[in-house]
Amino acid sequence: MNTSPRQITLDEWDVHYEALRAAGLREPPYGGPLRRHVERDSDLRLARLRFDNSPAALRLWNFLLTEEDRLQAARRDGTKIVGTMKDLGTVPVMAYSLPNVVAFYPDGAWWIPCVMELSDGLLGIANTLGVDESFCPVRAMLGAFLTEAHFPIPDLLICSAGATCDDFSAIAQRLNGLGYPILWWEIPSRRRPEAEEEAVDLPGGFTASRQQVDFVRAELERVRGALETLAGMPLTADRLAAGIRAANAVRRRFDELRRLVFSAERCPLPALELLIAEMLAIHFCSDREETIAVLDDLIAEVKRRIAAGQGVERAPASRESTCSLKQEPPTKVFWVNPVADLRVMNLLEDCGGRLCGTEFLFCHALDELPEDAPPMEALARAALADPMVGPATQRAERICRDAGRFGAEALILSRIPGASHCATEGEIIRGLVQERLGVPAVEIEVPPVSDSVAATLRSRIEALIETARERRCRCD
Amino acid sequence: MVCAGIDAGSRAIKVALMDSKGGKMLGSGVADQGVEQEALARRLFEDVLARAGIARNRVSRIVATGYGRNNVGFADTTITEITCHAVGVRHLVPDAMTIIEIGGQDSKLIRLNSRGAVQDFAMNDRCAAGTGCFLEMVARRLGISLSDLGQLAARSTKAAAISSMCAVFAETEIVGLLASGTAPEDIVAGVMTAVASRVAAMAGRTILPPVVFTGGVALIPRMAEALASVLKHPVSLSPEPQLTGAVGAAILASRK
Amino acid sequence: MKCIVYSSPFIPAEWIAAHELKPLRIVPRAASRAAIPAGMGVCPFARAFANEVLADAEAAGAIFATTCDQMRRLAEQTAAAGPANRIFLFNVPATWQSVTAQKIYLAELQRLGRWLETRGGAAPSRERLAETMVQATLPTALEKAASNRQAPALAVVGGPLLAEHRGIFDLIQHAGGRIVLDAAEGGERTRRAAWNRRSVREEPLLALADAYFGHIPDAFRRPNSELYAWLKRELAARQVHGIVFLHYIWCDLWRAEAQRLKEWCGLPVLVVELGDQAHFNAHVRSRIASFLEMLK
């Protein structure tokens, strides 16, 4: 069944799903109508989102929303479960190198209050633990541990510490204080090598001193030891190398998907689905092989749309532009930081924008791991390439590079309520983007359920797009 | 003899006269707070004495409490509102173990021990979104009286999410919700939940029942239900919720 | 002698002094000139320290520590706003039980040494370092207040305090409390350990690292179990009746410990959140009075 790309509501998906089924839709075992997540899991927010209407997007959503089932199945069949926290992308590569281990991020619980429209009560539990709304919504993780309602309690918890956000570190420490043992490993604050130090190139265009890379490698050796003990088998260099190759297979697909989406003349995939897809990069949504299949479907759909000259853009919000162009293509927007409320991603297309780049805090999980270096060295370099462990200026420099690559016309910096890094880095990133690229940038703050600020958010994004369009006219 | 308690709160002054032996309330009164705090307190005190038919010289001791307690110069001594609310509530509800007091400018959670003494307390005064003035702002925005908030909230089918911890930003959110067509009853219910959540955050993980709700905000219908829902414990209203601080002060005056 | 300013207790003054520079530990003031303005999410202490560094044209350099994310990030902003190479960001590991963490701290001391040389310092010989260390005096425990022995014994626990906010000690004592333990930053909790004399002679730098990195319990350390072990010991030894817990607004590291401390210690705990204002408002005064009424 061939349909034009469109963003559709949950109600429309109900009808569309039946039509796809009638036309012979083939689905993986976790497939089914999206509606069931609302009815079975109280994922109420889905009823307020607009989704891409492709079977590939359906598969992506179903894959994401059934992760708990996979983790519970892992628990039942004796597979060891690792809860890895904060590093966003490195430890899972190691964990998935072992045949009897799966890893996931309890941090991911930060979306539960959004997806369940606060009916989960997790933030309330965090409140009673003294972790109130002055902390990042990741505090929902505490409630998820205490209720044991959203993921099985991991057999091993691993958390990076050091150059991390204070709010997250404090939340993880609170968890530890509640009696959950955590293996802490140090990620030092990345700095440029000094004149007398050996410099090591990191993924993403960063550099660090040989000494810092060696420190991180030694710390990851401790993680390796803990994983070996858990798995009851050695995490050999061969296993790690295979794990890195498999991770790179995923990352290459992300590279292709992002390149296609960001460079296509018409936007072949909505911002919301791209955000969801990118989340698979950090821990493969508890199934690395299936992640590849999901991405392959998405890539095939995107290619099909590009070949057909189809896009998902909506009509520009500002129809009375002072610009003489009547039919303007959507404004290319680079998006920084993930949003606590998924609904905000829909606003981008609503307001006449489209994504041409992202930096959702874990761009290092999208960069290929070096395969020409010993595995532990490669992992250490990747861990140090985390944009959040270095100076905000370096993160801003990478954002400028990536934003320039696909011709960003505007930048949205999404502030995460309570996140310590957001207090100071926004100014630095906006300043550098305006200096280097000369494009307008706006900062928005998105709470887990943003309905009460929806009008404000829309105004800001619309104003940004209007500004970018005026600039486009002037440049033309 | 008679003892007096004067609770000089941020929004209202409350006076209670107690029989120093039997702990019986002999008179009480409430007046709006203002700039001339001492004069207002004195006027109210004299008014309550007159209404109760008690001569000034029968009052053996006066204790002032509340935010403006140090401005009540004619009081014999001052005691903080934490201690006074604890004593006042325990007098009115002898088995109370946890007290929630929400006033105009702050909110408090007080835990008592089995003897009725304060064991622990927490206060919120930094975040206006957990206080009575937040509810006042909402009522003003919706063009209704404070007492009508509860009736309106009762009609809510789905409380709106108020995310901001700052009352100023929360007001912006409320304007946004109104503009987007959210029903006023859902907004009020959302605000009450937000206030209750902030109080619950002070409670930590252990709530020792019975929980008694006092302070001016306790007069607003459905606020107790909102607290009970968030705390997951029954919450009962204190008799004379606006007066408990003054009652406690008067009782403490009699103990000296 | 050129002066190097810092605020973190993890920066060894002896190391700076051994480089023939004057170490000056700043307790910043809230009223400092504000090149970096107050903002949503910015810790008042970290901001005040950065502003004081920017306002201080005399100091040859300033050391920030990574003991909190706010300091780490404000170091970058401060460096960008001032002359080149005037700011040093000292990487204090959050972890402490691993050999790597200790190595990182030691390596940072060496890197700090190289930077101190660029700020006008001279690399010390082993002997000079040892001598500097031996000559340094270790502050004694909190001086016993002359207040009423019947007054409730209190511990002040928390992170760093602005100069004005150190006034909370007087406030508590005026309200009738007796402070027997200063476990805020700058107090007894954050003092280095006594030197291991033999190590000082043989490996002074290692001894220095051990006395600081190996012995200061703090909320930011992962795990921060040593903070609680230290508190358990000291609270019992001083027969503390109650704790006044202080933290700054937006200081996640200490704020998150408030409820845990309450659940853990079995003592009454008064939590006081401090902001940018230099003075203590009526609410803070009232809370302290209530707390002491409760303890009496």
Q: What is the pLDDT of residues C102-146, one digit of tens each?
A: 999 999 999 999 999 999 999 999 999 999 999 998 766 555 555
CB atoms within 10 A of CB A317: 17
Distance separating alpha carbons of residues C28 and C189, to the nearest angstrom: 19
Q: Identify the pLDDT of residue A315.
A: 53
DSSP B7: E
Beta strand extents in chain B (DSSP E only): 2-8, 12-19, 25-32, 59-65, 77-78, 98-102, 107-112, 118-124, 211-214, 235-237
Cβ C94–A162 below 8 Å, yes or no?
yes
- Whether the Cβ atoms of residue A133 and residue A158 lie closer than 8 Å to each other: no
Total number of residues shown for chain C: 296
- Look over chain A and give the mean of its residue pLDDT values, rounded to a whole number: 94
Which residue in the set C91, C253, C260 is minimally distant from A177, CB to CB?
Answer: C260
Nearest-CA residue of chain A relative to B194?
A124
- Whether the Cβ atoms of residue A175 and residue A144 lie closer than 8 Å to each other: no
Looking at the predicted structure, is the pLDDT value of residue A340 above 60? yes
How far apart, in Å, are the Cα atoms of C174 and each of C36, C143, C146, C294? Answer: 34, 17, 12, 16
Residues 271-290 of C with CB under 8 A from B: 271, 273, 275, 282-283, 286-287, 289-290
Tokens 């700054």 sit on residue? C248
Edge-first strand order for the sheet with B25-32 is B25-32, B12-19, B2-8, B59-65, B77-78
Looking at the predicted structure, is the pLDDT value of residue A290 above 90? yes
Distance separating alpha carbons of residues A244 and A365, to the nearest angstrom: 12
- Whether the Cβ atoms of residue A305 and residue A5 lie closer than 8 Å to each other: yes
Q: How would DSSP label each residue in A392-436?
A: HHHHHHHHHHHHHHTT-SEEEEEEPTT-TTHHHHHHHHHHHHHHH
How far apart, in Å, are the Cα atoms of A206 and each of A215, A386, B205? Answer: 17, 9, 45
In degrees and rounded to multiples of 5, residue A102 shows phi and psi of -120, 155
- Residue A179 with chain B: CB contacts under 8 Å: none
Nearest-CA residue of chain A relative to C227?
A177
What is the set of domains in chain C, with CATH numbers? 3-135 (3.40.50.11890), 153-295 (3.40.50.11900)
CA angle, A75 then A80 then A86, to 5°: 105
Looking at the predicted structure, is the pLDDT value of residue A356 above 60? yes
Which residue in the set A176, A420, A421 is minimally distant from C223, CB to CB?
Answer: A176
Distance separating alpha carbons of residues A102 and A154, to the nearest angstrom: 10
- Residue C219 with chain A: CB contacts under 8 Å: 173
Distance separating alpha carbons of residues A215 and C103, to the nearest angstrom: 8
Q: Is the ipTM of this complex over 0.90?
A: yes
Looking at the predicted structure, is the pLDDT value of residue C47 above 70? yes
How far apart, in Å, are the Cα atoms of A461 and each of A173, A349, A413, B165, B240? Answer: 36, 10, 11, 23, 50
Q: Identify the pLDDT of residue A319.
A: 46
Distance separating alpha carbons of residues A404 and C7, to the nearest angstrom: 40
At A64, which amino acid appears?
L
* Residue C150 CB burial class (10 angstroms; 0-12, 13-18, ≥19): exposed
- In this prediction, residues C182-189 reach a mean pLDDT of 95
- Whether the Cβ atoms of residue C51 and residue C37 lie closer than 8 Å to each other: no
Which residue in the set B80, B117, B205 is minimally distant from C289, CB to CB?
Answer: B80
Q: A230-234, A326-330, B153-157, B225-229: which has the minimum mean pLDDT?
A: A326-330
Domain B95-237 has CATH 3.30.930.10: no
Cβ A423–C224 below 8 Å, yes or no?
no
Share of chain A above pLDDT 70, in %: 96
Q: B67-71, B132-136, B237-241, C286-290: which has the minimum mean pLDDT?
A: B132-136
Is A58 within 8 Å of chain C by CB?
A: no
Task: Please report the sign of the dihedral spanned by the C-alpha atoms of residue A7, residue A11, residue A16, residue A21.
Answer: positive
The shortest C-alpha distance from A254 to chain C (Å) reads: 30
- Residue A163 with chain C: CB contacts under 8 Å: 66, 69, 72, 91
Q: How many CB pairs under 8 A join A and B?
A: 58
- In this prediction, residues C241-250 reach a mean pLDDT of 94
Q: Would you call the peptide bond into A113 cis, given omega within 30 degrees of 0 as the criterion?
A: no
Task: Please report the sign of the dihedral spanned by the C-alpha atoms of residue A210, residue A211, residue A212, residue A214.
Answer: positive
CA angle, B243 then B248 then B253, to 5°: 125
Q: How would DSSP label each residue in B16-63?
A: EEEETTT--EEEEEEEE--SSHHHHHHHHHHHHHHHHT--GGGEEEEE
Share of chain C above pLDDT 70, in %: 95
Question: pLDDT tens for residues B19-31?
Answer: 988 689 999 999 9
Q: A70-74, A432-436, B247-251: which has the minimum mean pLDDT?
A: A432-436
Q: C167: pLDDT confidence band, cut at 50, 70 and 90?
A: very high
Taking the domains of chain B in order of start, what are their residue ranges?
Answer: 2-90+242-255, 95-237
Is C262 within 8 Å of chain B by CB?
A: yes
- In this prediction, residues A219-248 reach a mean pLDDT of 98
How far apart, in Å, are the Cα atoms of A7 and each of A13, A52, A312, C20, C148? Answer: 10, 5, 7, 68, 73
CATH topology identical between B2-90+242-255 and B95-237: yes
Nearest-CA residue of chain A relative to B170?
A452
The shortest C-alpha distance from A5 to chain C (Å) reads: 41
Q: A325: pLDDT confidence band, cut at 50, 70 and 90?
A: very low
Looking at the predicted structure, is the pLDDT value of residue A473 above 80? no
Which residue in the set A163, A185, A393 is minimally distant from C66, CB to CB?
Answer: A163
Distance separating alpha carbons of residues C48 and C33, to the nearest angstrom: 9
Say which CATH topology domain B2-90+242-255 has: Nucleotidyltransferase; domain 5 (3.30.420)
Q: B130: pLDDT confidence band, cut at 50, 70 and 90?
A: confident
Which residue in the set B160, B172, B203 is minimally distant from A451, CB to CB?
Answer: B160
- In this prediction, residues C168-197 reach a mean pLDDT of 94
Looking at the predicted structure, is the pLDDT value of residue C277 above 70? yes
Q: B120: pLDDT confidence band, cut at 50, 70 and 90?
A: confident
- In this prediction, residues C179-186 reach a mean pLDDT of 95
Q: A86-95, A465-474, C150-159: which has the minimum mean pLDDT?
A: A465-474
Query: How far apart, in Å, do the first and last CA atoms of chain B sit?
Result: 13
Q: Identify the pLDDT of residue B150.
A: 86
Looking at the predicted structure, is the pLDDT value of residue A326 above 60? no
Both structure tokens of A457: 């958010």
In degrees and rounded to multiples of 5, residue B14 shows phi and psi of -125, 140
- In this prediction, residues B66-89 reach a mean pLDDT of 92
- Residue C258 with chain B: CB contacts under 8 Å: none
- Residue C66 with chain A: CB contacts under 8 Å: 162-163, 188-189
Q: A96: pLDDT confidence band, cut at 50, 70 and 90?
A: very high
Share of chain A above pLDDT 90, in %: 87
Q: Identify the pLDDT of residue A421.
A: 87
Looking at the predicted structure, is the pLDDT value of residue A171 above 90? yes
* Residue C292 CB burial class (10 angstroms; 0-12, 13-18, ≥19): buried
3-state secondary structure chain C: CCEEEECCCCCCHHHHHHCCCEEEECCCCCCCCCCCCCCCCCCHHHHHHHHHHHHCCCCCEEEEECCCHHHHHHHHHHHHHCCCCCEEEECCCCECCCHHHHHHHHHHHHHHHHHHHHCCCCCCCHHHHHHHHHHCCCCCCCCCCCCCCCCCEEEEEECCCCCHHHHHHHHHHHCCCEEEEEECCCCHHHCCCCCCHHHHHHCHHHHHHHHHHCCCCCCCCECCHHHHHHHHHHHHHCCCCEEEEEEECCCHHHHHHHHHHHHHHCCCEEEEEECCCCCCCHHHHHHHHHHHHHHC
Looking at the predicted structure, is the pLDDT value of residue A211 above 60? yes
Q: Identify the pLDDT of residue A66.
A: 97
Nearest to A340 by CA among A86, A67, A59, A117: A117
Q: Identify the pLDDT of residue B32.
A: 92
Both structure tokens of A234: 């050695």
Cβ B123–C293 below 8 Å, yes or no?
no
- The residue among C257, C265, C290 with the most chain B CBs within 10 A of its CB, best to mutate, is C290
CA angle, A193 then A187 then A64, to 5°: 125
At C15, which amino acid appears?
W
Edge-first strand order for the sheet with B107-112 is B118-124, B107-112, B98-102, B211-214, B235-237
Both structure tokens of A18: 């039946």
- Which chains have 3+ CB pairs within 8 A of A? B, C
Which residue in the set A118, A449, A455 is minimally distant from B179, CB to CB?
Answer: A455
* Residue C142 CB burial class (10 angstroms; 0-12, 13-18, ≥19): middle
The shortest C-alpha distance from A104 to chain B (Å) reads: 28
- In this prediction, residues B81-86 reach a mean pLDDT of 92
Tokens 């709010």 sit on residue? A167
